C-alpha cells in the first residue's frame, strides 16, 4: 500500500495505455471484430471531408464559447455575493450548491420533464400565468435547442464555479480593501482595482475547467437531445461516441478523440501561459 | 468597516434571489412531482401542492429495480473511494519522502493525467476492458473510475503531506520508528481531515459518473444509479412521478451527507481546486 506503485499501475494501465492506443488507433481501420488494418492518414483525411464532423466542430465551438460567456459573469457575481459572512448569505450559498449534488443523468431527466411541450411544468406555468414565451418546443426547435442545452449545463456547473470564486474572494487580504477605502475608492473601483486582479488565478482556473469541460461535454446532450434536432446539438464527443459505438469505426472515432484531447490540452496550456499563471510544477512547490 | 445599505447591494441581493429561484424551483418541482401519481400529475398543477399527494411512485421505482441500482452505486462508490484515497496517501508519502528519479518522474506523468479527458480515451478503454473479460462488470468500473481519480487525488495528497513538518517525521525515526510506523502513527492521523475532503470529492465524481457505466456495462444487474435512471425513463417515459422519484432517491444519500457535513462538502468541492 505504501508507495507510488499501485496508483501508477492503475493510472498507466487505464489512462496512459488507452491514450497511446487512441493515437495508434487513429491510423487503422477497425470495426472491433476482425484484425485492424493499417490505414495511414485515411481516417485523418476523412475528418477533414466529413460534413458531420464539420458541423460537430461548429456546434462544439458554439457550446464552449456560449458556456464560457454565460457561466463566467454569473459565477463571478454569485461567488462575490456568497463570499460574505452574513447569515443569509450562508443560506443562499447552501441552496446554490444543491445542483452540484445531482448526477448529470438526474439533471437531464429533471429538465426533460420541466421542458416537455405537452405536460411540462413550464408549459403549465405558461398557461396559468399567461406568459406565452414559456410555451416553446424547447428540445425540438432547431433554433432553440442548443441554447437550452447551454442553459442547463450552466445550471449544472455555475454552482461549482460560484464556490471557486467565493473561496478565491475570501483569500483576498482584507488589508487591501482597507487601504483602498482610505484612498477613497468607490465599491466599483475596489471591484476593478482590487478584487478582479486578486482573483486572476481563480479566473484562469475556473476558465480552464469551464472550457475544457464544455469541450468534452457529453452526458446531458446524449440523454436529452442525442444531438438533435437534426445535427444542431451534435457536439464532437457525441459524434465520437456514435462513430465508435453505433457505427463501429474505432479508427475514425480515435481521430476525433485525439483532436478533442489535443485541443483541450492546448487551450489549457495556452491559458496558463497567456495569463502567466504559475504552472502546475510550481504549484506543487507551494509557489501558487 | 461599517456596512451600509447601498443601491449596489440591493441590486446584488435581487439578482442573487433570482438565481435562488432558478436553482430552487426545479428542485421544488421535482419533489412535488414525485409525490403525485401518474393520474394526479396530469390533472393538477405541477407547482401548487393541492389535491392528493402520495408516495406510491417511490414504490413503483423500487419495483422497477432501483434498489439494485442503489446497491451497485453504494458498493462502487465505497470501493473506489477507499481504494483511491488509500493508495493516493501511500503514494504521496512515498513521493514526498523519497526523492528518487523514478518517483518524481511518475509524479510528473500523473500530473499530465489531469489534462486527459476520459472522453478522449473511452474507445481504447472499452477495448481494453473487453479484452480483459471485464466488460459488463462492476469491477471494470472500479478499476477505471479509480484510475481516473488517481491524478487529482495524488496531487492533493502530495500538497498536503509536503506540509507535514519534517522535524516530526525525523524525530519519530530517531526514536526508532520505521517508515511504516511514521506512516501509521503520524501521517495517517494527521491526514484524516484531508482524507475526508478528498473522499467526498472522489465519491461525488464516482457516484454521478455516467459515461463509463454507459460504455463499460449493459446489464441491469450491474447498472449504477445514473444509468439506471435512464433505464427507468425508458421504462416509464410517460410516468413522470416515477422518474422524478427515482431522481430524488438518487440524490438523497448525497443530500443526507450534505446536511450533516455541509461545511466539509463545500470545502471539498470549492477548496480542493481553488487552493
Q: What is the block-wise mean pLDDT of chain A (288 residues), using blocks of 10 residues?
A: 74 88 87 79 85 91 94 92 85 88 90 83 75 76 89 92 87 86 84 86 85 87 87 90 89 90 84 62 35
Contact call for B45 and A128, based on CB within 8 A: yes
Q: What ipTM was predicted for this assembly?
A: 0.85
B94-106 core/surface letters (b: 16 or more CB in 10 A; e: else)? bbbbeeeeebeeb
B254, B266, A276, A80 alpha-carbon torsion, rounded to 10°: 120
Is any Cβ of chain A less than 8 angstroms from the Cβ of B138? Answer: no
Cβ-Cβ pairs closer than 8 A, A with B, add up to 279
Out of A8, A96, A110, name the one closest to residue B247 (CB).
A110
Give the sign of the dihedral formed by CA A15, CA B81, CA B269, CA A93.
positive
Q: What does pTM read for this prediction?
A: 0.87
Which three three-digit cell numbers place residue A184?
477613497
Q: Which residues 57-96 of B have a C-beta within 8 angstroms of A? A: 84, 86-88, 90-91, 93-95
B230-239 core/surface letters (b: 16 or more CB in 10 A; e: else)? bbbbeebeeb
Out of B148, B183, B258, name the one closest to residue A2 (CB).
B183
Out of B41, B86, B210, name the one closest to residue A219 (CB).
B210
Rounded CA-CA distance B16/B195 in Å is 33
Give the sign of the dihedral formed by CA B247, CA B252, CA B257, CA B258.
positive
Fold of B65-235: MetI-like fold (1.10.3720)
Closest CA to B233 of B242, B224, B225: B242
Q: Spell out, as residue ranges, where chain B has pLDDT lower than 50.
A: 1-2, 275
Helix axes A236-245, A250-275, angle to 10 degrees: 160
Rounded CA-CA distance B29/B31 in Å is 6
Q: What is the pLDDT of residues B79-121, one digit of tens each?
A: 999 999 888 888 888 877 776 777 777 777 777 777 788 888 8
Rounded CA-CA distance A169/B92 in Å is 29
pLDDT of B5 reads 59
Q: Where are the domains of chain B?
A: 7-57, 65-235
Task: Map grid coordinates 473522499 to a residue.
Answer: B199
Sketch out chain A's domains with CATH numbers: 19-259 (1.10.3720.10)
With H, G, I as helix, E, B as strand and everything else as coil, classify residue A29. strand
Angle made by CA atoms A40, A249, A21, in degrees to the nearest 5:
60
Do the Cβ atoms of A165 and A75 come closer than 8 Å? yes
Do the Cβ atoms of A29 and A36 come closer than 8 Å? yes
Do the Cβ atoms of A2 and A217 come closer than 8 Å? no
Rounded CA-CA distance A256/A263 in Å is 11
Is any Cβ of chain A less than 8 angstroms from the Cβ of B19? Answer: yes
A128 contacts in chain B (CB < 8 Å): 45, 47
Is any Cβ of chain A less than 8 angstroms from the Cβ of B211? Answer: yes
A242-274 core/surface letters (b: 16 or more CB in 10 A; e: else)? bbbbeeebbbbbbbbbbbbbebbbebbeebbee
Chain B residue with minimal CA distance to A265? B115
- E strand residue ranges, B84-226: none
Amino acid at each position: 500500500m505504501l508507495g507510488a506503485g499501485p496508483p501508477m499501475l492503475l493510472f498507466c494501465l487505464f489512462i496512459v495505455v488507452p491514450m497511446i492506443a487512441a493515437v495508434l488507433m487513429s491510423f487503422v481501420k477497425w470495426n472491433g471484430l476482425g484484425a485492424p488494418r493499417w490505414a495511414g492518414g485515411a481516417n485523418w483525411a476523412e475528418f477533414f471531408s466529413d460534413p458531420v464532423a464539420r458541423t460537430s466542430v461548429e456546434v462544439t465551438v458554439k457550446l464552449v464559447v456560449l458556456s464560457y460567456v454565460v457561466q463566467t459573469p454569473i459565477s463571478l457575481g454569485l461567488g462575490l455575493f456568497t463570499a460574505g459572512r452574513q447569515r443569509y448569505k450562508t443560506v443562499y450559498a447552501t441552496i446554490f450548491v444543491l445542483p452540484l449534488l445531482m448526477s448529470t443523468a438526474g439533471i437531464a431527466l429533471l429538465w426533460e420533464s420541466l421542458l416537455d411541450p405537452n405536460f411540462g411544468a413550464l408549459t403549465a406555468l405558461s398557461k396559468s400565468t399567461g406568459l406565452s414565451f414559456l410555451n416553446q418546443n424547447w428540445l425540438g426547435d432547431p433554433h432553440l435547442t442548443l441554447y437550452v442545452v447551454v442553459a442547463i449545463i450552466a445550471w449544472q456547473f455555475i454552482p461549482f464555479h460560484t464556490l471557486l470564486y467565493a473561496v478565491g474572494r475570501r483569500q483576498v487580504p482584507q488589508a487591501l480593501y482597507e487601504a483602498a477605502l482610505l484612498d477613497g475608492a468607490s465599491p466599483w473601483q475596489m471591484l476593478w482595482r482590487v478584487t478582479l486582479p486578486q482573483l486572476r488565478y481563480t479566473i484562469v482556473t475556473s476558465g480552464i475547467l469551464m472550457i475544457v469541460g464544455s469541450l468534452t461535454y457529453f452526458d446531458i446532450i446524449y440523454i436529452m437531445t442525442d444531438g438533435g434536432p437534426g445535427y444542431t446539438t451534435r457536439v464532437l464527443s457525441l459524434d465520437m461516441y456514435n462513430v465508435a459505438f453505433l457505427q463501429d469505426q474505432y479508427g475514425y472515432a480515435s481521430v476525433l478523440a485525439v483532436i478533442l484531447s489535443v485541443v483541450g490540452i492546448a487551450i489549457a496550456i495556452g491559458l496558463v501561459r497567456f495569463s502567466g499563471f504559475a504552472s502546475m510544477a510550481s504549484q506543487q512547490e507551494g509557489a501558487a | 468597516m461599517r456596512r451600509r445599505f447601498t443601491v449596489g447591494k440591493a441590486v446584488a441581493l435581487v439578482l442573487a434571489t433570482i438565481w435562488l429561484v432558478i436553482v430552487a424551483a426545479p428542485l421544488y418541482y421535482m419533489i412535488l412531482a414525485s409525490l403525485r401519481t401518474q393520474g394526479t400529475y396530469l390533472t393538477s398543477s405541477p407547482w401548487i401542492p393541492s389535491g392528493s399527494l402520495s408516495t406510491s411512485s417511490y414504490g413503483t421505482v423500487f419495483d422497477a429495480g432501483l434498489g439494485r441500482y442503489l446497491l451497485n452505486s453504494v458498493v462502487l462508490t465505497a470501493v473506489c473511494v477507499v481504494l483511491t484515497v488509500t493508495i493516493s496517501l501511500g503514494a504521496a508519502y512515498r513521493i514526498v519522502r523519497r526523492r528518487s528519479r523514478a518517483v518524481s518522474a511518475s509524479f510528473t506523468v500523473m500530473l499530465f493525467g489531469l489534462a486527459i479527458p476520459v472522453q478522449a480515451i473511452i474507445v481504447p478503454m472499452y477495448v481494453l476492458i473487453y479484452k480483459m473479460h471485464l466488460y459488463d462488470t462492476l469491477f471494470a468500473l472500479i478499476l477505471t473510475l479509480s484510475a481516473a481519480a488517481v491524478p487529482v487525488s495524488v496531487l492533493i495528497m502530495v500538497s498536503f503531506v509536503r506540509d507535514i513538518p519534517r522535524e516530526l517525521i525525523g524525530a519519530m525515526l530517531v526514536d526508532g520508528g520505521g517508515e511504516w510506523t511514521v506512516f501509521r502513527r503520524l501521517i495517517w492521523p494527521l491526514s484524516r481531515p484531508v482524507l475526508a475532503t478528498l473522499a467526498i470529492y472522489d465519491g461525488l465524481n464516482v457516484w454521478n459518473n455516467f459515461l463509463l457505466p454507459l460504455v463499460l456495462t449493459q446489464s441491469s444487474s450491474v447498472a449504477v444509479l445514473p444509468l439506471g435512471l435512464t433505464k427507468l425513463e425508458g421504462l416509464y417515459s410517460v410516468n413522470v412521478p416515477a422518474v422524478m422519484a427515482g431522481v430524488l432517491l438518487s440524490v438523497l444519500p448525497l443530500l443526507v451527507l450534505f446536511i450533516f457535513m455541509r461545511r466539509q462538502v463545500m470545502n471539498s468541492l470549492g477548496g480542493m481546486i481553488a487552493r
